[in-house]
Structure 1
Amino acid sequence: MSKTITATVIPTVDRLRFLPGIFTARLMIQGEGLTYQQATNLSADYKGGLWTFYRLSNGGGYLAPDTDRRFNVSVQGNDYEGEVSADAFGVIVTLFVFGALCWIDNETLREKFTDHYHQLRDFAKDHTEAGAIFRAID
């Protein structure tokens, strides 16, 4: 029996410590920028805005738009099209970012981002929109 992975919102005062923990101090600006660019690439509905940062109980984390609205997602690489909540959209976007960072030319960082990818993917398995998340990243 596996333990349910939980997500906890990072308080505003701790946000600047969260990004270096997920992306490293050197790559935190690039990682955050990749997140917003990936959101733009995946949804014409995304027009910017505030994001909520989440720490996972398994050591991972993700970012999600801070809104109640839903996003139409279109993934050209696998022909997925669907509508998801902002939280599921954030999981999808962050998985794409970690997937891209897994190819970085540094073995330690490749392992870090691969671990983060799998930690978030494990969380996504129990997400209420798991089916849409996995179709989007497939």
Structure 2
Amino acid sequence: MTTEAETPIASAVVPDELRLNVLPRFLGCHYLAGESLLYDWAARLCRSYQGGLWHFFTLSNGGFYMAPADSARVHVRRHLNGYSDMMGADAFGITVTLFALCHLAERTLDDAIADRYHQLRVFATQHVEAANILRAID
């Protein structure tokens, strides 16, 4: 018997022409606040973050995340839990999106946002950098 956490979850990059619909689709009326929180968390977690283009990804379990288009590894630091390490852009995007979704769920008390967090967290456990992502969000 395979559990949800063991079922492989696929990610797919959203084509440029469909980008405008991603955040409203996944965050509903909270999409502007969610986007703002995402960029805020990126700056909080990575001192060298200076903005830039982000890719949108959909997940086969119904979730989504965003990740910087720049593929360089970045230093991520979370003072409250003592995390400090390097991670790739995809792992950084997952981490940032998890923090933003958690913050947005707490702010809005919207169960749909909490569901998005849990969908992404399951995907994060299967990521090649799962250990780093989970340590960062702990």
- Classify the TM-score, shorter chain: over 0.9
Runs of 5+ consecutive residues of structure 2 not aligned to the other structure: none
- The alignment partner of 1:96 has SS state of helix
Residue deviations 1:59-91, cap 9 Å, x none?
000000001101100001101000000000000
How far apart, CA to CA, are the structure 2 residues paired with 1:39 and 1:135?
16
AA aligned opposite 1:6? A
Secondary structure of the residue aligned to 1:102 is: helix
SS of residue paired to 2:18: helix
Instruction: Check if 1:65 corresponds to 2:68.
Output: yes
Whole-angstrom distance in 1 between the partners of 2:80 and 2:100: 15
Q: Is residue 13 from structure 1 mapped to residue 17 from structure 2 by the alignment? A: yes
2:102 corresponds to which of 95, 99, 102: 99
Q: Using the aligned pairs only, state the percent identity.
A: 43
TM norm structure 1: 0.93
CA RMSD across the alignment: 1.0
Superimposed CA distance per residue, residues 88-116 of structure 1 (whole angstroms, 9 cap, x where no aligned partner): 0000000001111121344xx2x111111
What residue is the counterpart of 1:4 in the other structure? 8
What is the aligned partner in structure 2 of residue 45 from structure 1?
Answer: 48
Q: Aligned residue pairs: how many? A: 134
| Structure 1 residue aligned with 2:81 | 78
Deviation at 1:12, TM superposition (A): 0.6
Distance 1:66 1:89 in 2: 11
Runs of 4+ in 1 over 2 A off after TM superposition: none
In 2: Cα distance, 1:29 partner to 1:105 partner: 13
Aligned to 1:128, the other structure's residue is in SS state coil
Distance 1:89 1:105, change over 3 A: closer
Q: Which residue number corresponds to residue 120 of structure 2? A: 120
Report if the CA contact (8 A) 2:33-2:104 is conserved.
no
**Structure 1: any 5+ residue segments left out of the alignment?**
none
Report the equivalent of 1:28. 31
